[in-house]
Every structure is written in C-alpha cells, then in structure tokens.
Amino acid sequence: MVQERGYAPCERPLLYHKALQGHLIRNRQRPKVYYSETPPFGKRAASLTTTRKRRKRAMAENQNLIQSTKTQASDTLPAMIDRAAKALASATTAGEILEAKHHANVAYSRTKSLGRMARARKAHDEVIGAVYRAQANALEIEARAKIRLADEYDAAQERGEVAAGRPKSLEDGKSFQATASDLGLRHDQIHEARQLRNAEAEEPGFIKNTLDAIVAAGEEPTKAALKKAHVAHNSGQNEWYTPAAFIEAARQVMGEIDLDPASSEIANRTVQAARYFTAEDDGLAHDWPVCRIWMNPPYAQPLISQFSNKIAEAADAGAEAIVLVNNATETAWFQRMLQSASALCFPEKRVRFLDPDGNPGAPLQGQALLYFGSNVSAFTGKFSEFGGVALMCR
C-alpha cells in the first residue's frame, strides 16, 4: 500500500474517519481507511476519544432525523400538523411532549421551505398566505409543547428530581441528580419556554393572536417573530407614545384635547391635554367628564379591556373621543368599543410608537383609530390621509 500524508498501514485500525465514510457511501464511492502509524497516548488519546464519541453521537442524531423525515416525506402539510397536534394532546410524559415538539418542528421546517420556494417563484398571494397559515399552526403547536415542557421541568425541580447544576462534591452513598443538560435541554430554552408560559397565562390566546396578526399582515410567522413578541410582552413595557401626526389630526377633528386618561408627563408634551392621568394617578379610578378625550391605552391585559369599556361608557354619556388601539377586531374589548363608535380608521401602515427615548418600535400588529362623536365628516376627511375609513351604520 502507498503511504499517504504520514499515515501507514498496520494490522489493526486505530483511527477511522466516520464522517468521510458516510460522505463516500452517500456518493456511491468506496471509502478509504487510513491507519495511524503509532497509537496515540496521553491528552491526544483523550481528545481523539472525545472527538470519536461526538461524531458517533452526531451521526446517530442525524440518522434519526433522516429516518423521521423519510417516513413523513409523503405526508401533506395538514397531515403533519394534525399528527403534531394529536401527539401533543395525548402526551402525558416529558418524552411524549418532546416527540410532539419534534413533529411540530418538522412541519414548521417544511412550511418554511415551501414559503421560500413560493416567494422565489413569485406565487400568488393566496398560495403564500396558505403556507404562512400552516407555518403559524405548526409554530403554535411547538410553542404549546414548550410550555408543557416548562411545566414538567418546574414540577420535577419541585419534587427534587432535577438539580439546578452539578455539585462539585458528593456525599457518600448519594448519587448525582439529573440536570437540564442531562435531559437534553439548555437553560436558554427553559427560560424562553417560561416566558411563553407567562405571556399566555397573563393574556390567554396570546400565542395564537400574535401569530394570527403576523399572518394577517402578510408577513412570515417565524420563531424569531414570536420570540420578539413574548419577550416584549414579559418586559412589562406599557409606555409607548403616539407619533405627533396622529395627535395633531385628532386635535384638528375635535378642536382641543381636554383629557388623556392614560398618559404620562413625557406623553403629554405631545398630546397637550388640559388634564391627564398617569399610571400613578390610575385613570380608571377617576370619573371621566363629558369632554373631548384622546386615548392611547396600555395594550396589556386586563388594562386594555378596562380602558376600552370605560371610554365606551364615556362616549355613551356624550363624550367625544378618538382612541388608538391594535386592530384586534375579534376581541371582546374591541367589539365593545365598536358598539359605541361612529367611525374608525385602519392605517395603511403600522403605527411605529415611540419609546421613552424617542426610538420607534416595530409593532407586530396593525392598528385602528376609533372615533366617538357626531363630527364624522371631519374625522373622515382628516384620517383618510392615514388609511381607509369606515362609518358605523346602526
């Protein structure tokens, strides 16, 4: 045999390139086996042993993924998503939840690939929309599986079955407890799952509503977009200020702004309301007089429902008002305001609210401006500059 690159043949193989073997087999080639001239010792031996184990583990995981993909290759997207949903609904153990999460992730990856192909081929909007809808369904199932895993993990910690970390020493007669890494979970994954759980617990339907809003806006529902939404939700940030153009339009319709019941000192520099309530004042605890009201309420529950109900009651009593909220038309609080509104405007672009430092945000949902009062023509003429205006017929 010919010696190549410092390797010489010997009777027994000491170093076998598994990755090379797999590559050559896939390409219908006969693998070449190289042998080490001398056996390794010391740190080099330990390093090579660790490398072999990692390669072996990675190859096993890849084979499992390939086999799973092959078995589902002939499935339609609805069948894949249905399988994931049924697997999660019937899951009773952490292992079954992980399996359901895997099914959902496979469906999500398939839809993501189809979406890229559809966009590359400039497919019809309805086709891309259908793919995005399937992608959102798969992502919702995976998100709910993550929440279930967070519950299982926290329950195991409470029972003392899972340790926060590996101790440096161990008392005689005791054994090490399993850690997150032993279970195949990273701490950042656990943290993300807990954030999702908190957002869903505070606002039931948060995951579905967020994904529906992304799809309705014609955008791709990705893991990054969902993560950004629930991270912002868990930050507790309710201080987002309205761009001056909308405030000025409201002032031109109503003449002046007498009251802003959900404001702050910074916000009122733009709104310039004669009277305003801050979070410390608690505008919900005060009576709102029959006057001209501008309101951009906090969007987190239960505050959004409480402010929406109160502005509708004030309008029923004779107040004139303009309210800026998310266009969550399917919610009870939005429907309650519609019962009292005279007109509404759907801006053609999402409103980029400003943070306390004046930096514009990137909202994941579109907005709506509702008008309460009799001066509908003025509202229509002014707010049609921002988007479509609809009149309420009763």
pLDDT at 204: 78
Separation in Å, CA 84 to CA 97, 109, 143: 10, 13, 12
- C-alpha 385: how far from chain center: 32
pLDDT in tens, 255-274: 999 999 999 888 899 999 99
What is the rounded distance in angstroms from the CA atom of residue 316 to the CA atom of residue 339?
Answer: 10
Helix (H, G, I), strand (E, B) or coil at 296: coil
- Average pLDDT over every residue of 286-310: 91
Q: Note whether 107 and 80 are within 8 A (CB).
A: yes
Query: Taking the CB of residue 108, how many other CB atoms lie within 10 A of it?
Result: 25
The secondary structure of 213-235 as a DSSP string is HHHHTT----HHHHHHHHHHHHT
pLDDT at 130: 84
Helix (H, G, I), strand (E, B) or coil at 7: strand
- Average pLDDT over every residue of 344-352: 91
Chain position carrying tokens 């993924």: 65
**Residue of 185 and 142 predicted with greater confidence:** 142
- Specify the DSSP class assigned to residue 203: S
Instruction: Tokens for 241, please give them.
Output: 């200020």
* Band (179; pLDDT cuts 50, 70, 90): low
pLDDT in tens, 211-246: 888 888 778 888 887 877 666 555 445 567 899 999
Q: Note whether 276 and 243 are within 8 A (CB).
A: no
Percentage, residues of the chain above pLDDT 90: 28
pLDDT in tens, 134-170: 888 888 888 888 888 878 777 777 776 655 554 545 4
Q: Mean pLDDT in the chain?
A: 76
Q: Which region among 59-63, 128-132, 278-282, 365-369 has the lowest average model confidence (pLDDT)?
A: 59-63
Pick from 32-41, 302-311, 312-321 the range whose average pLDDT is largest.
Answer: 312-321
What is the rounded distance in angstroms from the CA atom of residue 80 to the CA atom of residue 97?
Answer: 16
H helix intervals, the chain: 18-26, 42-71, 77-90, 94-120, 125-158, 187-202, 206-216, 223-234, 244-254, 265-271, 303-316, 332-338, 376-383
pLDDT in tens, 68-119: 544 444 467 778 888 888 888 888 877 777 788 888 888 888 888 877 777 7
